[in-house]
Structure 1
Amino acid sequence: MLVAALSRVAAGDRLALREVYDRTSAKLFGIVLRICQEREAAEDVLQEVYVTVWNRAAGYDPERASPVTWLATIARNRAIDWRRARRPDHNVGVEEAETIADEAVLAPERIEAEQEARRLHGCLDEIEGRQASAIRAAFIGGATYAELAERDGVPLGTMKSWIRRGLLKLRECLDRG
């Protein structure tokens, strides 16, 4: 369904973009918020993500990645760009903290998300240790490839190759299931 919607977005269909947003915004917002660690910034970054989707949907290739993987990569990259551009001395005091309403996920959605997470982590467990560790740190923890290369003491190109090969194996596993 998302593949078809992205194809319609590429053709300029605004309703298709709304469909993509409705189906993916919660997941992408979680990724962006984890990296930005500021709700307002994450909302702004998420808006940039969907502008990017609108502008680049024609470049999406379902043979290379699932729609969610493609969208999550855009979200992750935009959030990392925001984090890099952010001034290091920008700290907000407790008195400025925003009050956040309870946005707890309903039980059926939580169960489905937990099942997807178990499946994802099961597939990650099947991948070679270095690759799985790098994928977890990059896509769950929000680390940049450069940070991971430095952490593991390997060249940046090596880290990118590990992650790329790991993502291919992950996709194969998820497609089987």
Structure 2
Amino acid sequence: MADDATLRLLLAGIGRGEADRLAELYDLTSPKLFGLILRIQRDRGLAEDVLQDVYMRIWQAAGTYRPEAGPPMPWLVTVARHRAIDSVRRKTEAQGPESERGEDWVARLIDPRDGAAALMDREALLACLGRLDPAHRDCVVLAYCEGLSREELAARFGRPVNTIKTWLHRALAGLKTCLETVS
């Protein structure tokens, strides 16, 4: 992985339209971004398409990156995450509600590359999710598996956005504590 200074230089070059800088950035960051996208997207072919879309977006938006706003990698990860979630939303809307698809939402939270650990992680995650208040659990699942925003969750649950933020914060803190004790 490249350091922040290298990534900043590459993004500055991309912002000036230097295509070779995009190729360098791709070589340095695509494994990490692809892993993130694959966790969200779960379909390797679609994840590869999303990855290409991510770098097109980076090409278009590199000029908007401001180093004073923070390190470049979180900015890149945010672009990738949003594109992957948008892709899942489009796919979900085309297929209908999750319950009709029979999709296992827990699988989206587990690393698809580690089979043995995934089974243990899955059981631990299910156990810890089961300990959460049902509304809080549903909030976390919808936010992290379906990509719903806080505003969308607020509308869905009929609660203010600040309440949803509190629910998510408490639920994630509870999951973290639970998973640390289980592991």
Which TM-score bucket, shorter chain as reference?
0.5 to 0.7
Q: Does 1:40 align with 2:40?
A: no
Alignment equivalent of 1:145, drawn from 130, 149, 152: 149
Task: Give 5+ residue unaligned stretches, structure 2.
Answer: 1-5, 102-112, 115-139, 169-183
Is the contact made by 2:54 and 2:79 (CA closer than 8 Å) also made in structure 1?
Answer: yes
CA deviation profile, 1:125-149 (whole Å, cap 9, x unmatched): xxxxxxxxx8xx75xx674434776
* 1:78 matched residue in structure 2: 83
* 1:27 matched residue in structure 2: 32
Partners of 1:142 and 1:69 in 2: CA distance: 21
* 1:2 matched residue in structure 2: 7
| Alpha-carbon offset, residue 155 of structure 1 | 3.5
Is the contact made by 2:12 and 2:63 (CA closer than 8 Å) also made in structure 1?
Answer: yes
Higher relative contact order (CA 8 A, sep 6+): 1
Partner secondary structure for residue 63 of structure 1: helix
Q: Does 1:17 align with 2:34?
A: no
Partner amino acid, structure 1, of 2:18: D
Q: 1:153 to 1:29 in 2, by over 3 A?
A: farther
Alignment of 1:84-99 (within 5 A): 84-86=89-91, 87-88=94-95
Q: 1:5 to 1:85 in 2, by over 3 A?
A: same
Partners of 1:56 and 1:154 in 2: CA distance: 34
Q: 1:80 to 1:8 in 2, by over 3 A?
A: same
Which runs of 4 or more aligned residues in structure 1 lie more than 4 Å from their structure 2 counterparts after TM superposition?
147-154, 157-163
Identity %: 43
| Alpha-carbon offset, residue 22 of structure 1 | 0.7
Q: 1:27 to 1:144 in 2, by over 3 A?
A: farther
Q: CA RMSD in A?
A: 3.5
| Alpha-carbon offset, residue 12 of structure 1 | 0.6
Is the contact made by 2:89 and 2:147 (CA closer than 8 Å) also made in structure 1?
Answer: no
Choose between structure 1 and 2: higher helix proportion. Answer: 2
Partners of 1:161 and 1:11 in 2: CA distance: 41
Is the contact made by 1:76 and 1:142 (CA closer than 8 Å) also made in structure 2?
Answer: no
* Count of aligned residue pairs for this structure pair: 120
Q: 1:21 to 1:58 in 2, by over 3 A?
A: same
